[in-house]
Structure 1
Amino acid sequence: MKPTHLTLICHARTEAQRVGRFALDDEPLLEAPGPLGELSTAARYLSAPELRARQTVEGLAVTVDEGLRDCDLGSWKGMPLKQLDEQALQLWLIDPQAAPHGGESIAALCQRVALWMDSALAEGEWIAITHPFVIRAAMLHALGAPLASFQRIDVPPLARVHFSHYGQWRLRLV
């Protein structure tokens, strides 16, 4: 059995990130990110379906993968954090099972990402452009960390997280 290597790259910066609001599915980038640096020519490339992820990798041959889609934030899409009901936001921040926005809970997102990591990738090298929430969920899965850790991870634009899998997922620092 050969190992699987997965690099998750966060999409480039959006206006939503700049002003502190949840993104819309068709949220564009503030500006083109430029070259993503040294990327493997042997890797297979994937992208989340949202516009901001696809724009981050314009010019590369990528396959859009629904498993990398962002968390469905329901009625909170496009909403500034300051305009949300404070009680509902606090519930969402402390209870991974909560979905006061009517969309996907953090627990459901983490389960979806874990299933994707465990079943969607063949052996070899993969590079995927996705979202901060998806990267957080992948980190929790690889580490076997509790869902309560989700809100303690910051993933800035264009951040990279490396994983390897040979019998189990491992977080790989480079």
Structure 2
Amino acid sequence: MKAVRLTLICHGLTEAQKSGRLAHPEDAVLALAEPLEMAAAEVQVLRAPERRASETAAWLAAQASIEPALADCDLGSWQGLALKQLQLEQPEALAQWLQDPYSAPHGGESIAQLVERVDAWLAGFDGPGQWLAVTHPMVIRAVLVQLLGCPLASFQRIDVMPLSRLELSFTGQWRLRLN
């Protein structure tokens, strides 16, 4: 069994994040103050299908394969809405979604479904070598909850900042790698 090293990187900062809006698939990343270091030639790069993941991956590698399982949580009718708007117009639904990981009042994917999707992807991941995967804060939170065996309620207690990295290794089981 060959070892796997998988680094999940959160996409770059978007205007939606700066202004307190929920993500939309067409959100673009803002310019960087300094360029990112390109991935080494032996590192295989994956990315989520959304624009912000594509743009971030382009800063890191000349080529990145789309991995649908790395897609952001489907927020249904809430995509692109400001949190303040939801607090005013749908406070009970927002509170329910934040407190109950099985709820999806927006008509999209629940947190529990996201965690299940990400867990299935990790369980089937069998590519030896070094990997870099550009994805979203919610996907990285799902990986942490699943990998550490945390209750789903802990999902809302994790902050993932733009361009942050989560390093994992696999030799029979997934392990968190702290540097």
TM range (shorter): over 0.9
In the alignment, which residue of structure 2 is the partner of 1:42? 42
Distance 1:33 1:10 in 2: 17
In the alignment, which residue of structure 2 is the partner of 1:52? 52
Give the deviation of 1:152 after TM superposition: 0.5
Distance 1:54 1:70 in 2: 12
In the alignment, which residue of structure 2 is the partner of 1:137? 142
Distance 1:40 1:173 in 2: 20
TM-score (norm 2): 0.92
Q: Any idea what the Cα deviations from partners look like across 1:36-65, whole Å, max 9, x if unmatched?
A: 236333210001000001011225211011
Aligned match for 1:148, one of 153, 160, 175: 153
- Name the aligned partner's letter for residue 15 of structure 1: E
Distance 1:69 1:78 in 2: 16
Q: Secondary structure at the match of 2:53?
A: helix
Q: Secondary structure at the match of 1:52?
A: helix
In the alignment, which residue of structure 1 is the partner of 2:84? 82
TM-score (norm 1): 0.95
In the alignment, which residue of structure 1 is the partner of 2:130? 125
Q: Which moved more, 1:163-172 or 1:118-127?
A: 118-127
Structure 1: 5+ residue runs without aligned partners? none
Give the deviation of 1:33 after TM superposition: 6.8
Return structure 1 stretches of 4+ with deviation > 6 angstroms.
Answer: none
In the alignment, which residue of structure 2 is the partner of 1:7? 7
Q: Percent identity?
A: 52
- Name the aligned partner's letter for residue 72 of structure 1: D
Structure 2: 5+ residue runs without aligned partners? none
The 8 Å contact of residues 142 and 169 in structure 1, kept in 2 or not, is answered as yes
Give the deviation of 1:110 after TM superposition: 0.3
In the alignment, which residue of structure 1 is the partner of 2:102? 97
Give the deviation of 1:34 after TM superposition: 4.9
Give me the CA root mean square deviation.
1.4
- Name the aligned partner's letter for residue 148 of structure 1: A
| Distance change in 2, residues 1:153/1:137 (3 Å) | same
Give the deviation of 1:165 after TM superposition: 1.1
Distance 1:128 1:113 in 2: 12
- Name the aligned partner's letter for residue 46 of structure 1: L
Give the deviation of 1:167 after TM superposition: 1.4
Q: Which moved more, 1:93-102 or 1:137-146?
A: 137-146
